[in-house]
């Protein structure tokens, strides 16, 4: 999952992911540039 937000949003996002049983592992990184463009989501 990629997201853009201010630095203030990191702690609430990590807390929400830590409370979810569906999220096994997470790590927040600050990137200097976009590594790969986001892929489109196809819904059936």
Name the pTM for this structure.
Answer: 0.39
- Asked if 29 and 10 touch (Cβ cutoff 8 Å), the reply is no
User: What's the mean pLDDT when you consider all of the chain?
Assistant: 75
Average pLDDT over residues 3-12: 81
**Domain residue spans in the chain?**
1-30
- Asked if 3 and 13 touch (Cβ cutoff 8 Å), the reply is yes
Predicted confidence at residue 21, as pLDDT, reads 62
Average pLDDT over residues 7-28: 73
Instruction: Give the position of tokens 């807390």.
Output: 15
Count of alpha carbons within 13 angstroms of residue 8, beta-carbon side: 0
**9 pLDDT above the threshold of 80:** yes
Q: Return the higher-pLDDT residue of 25 and 12.
A: 12
């Amino acid at each position: 999952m990629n997201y853009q937000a201010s630095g203030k949003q990191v702690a609430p996002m990590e807390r929400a992911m830590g409370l979810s049983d569906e999220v096994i592992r997470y790590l927040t990184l600050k990137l200097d540039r976009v590594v790969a463009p986001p892929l489109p989501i196809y819904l059936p």
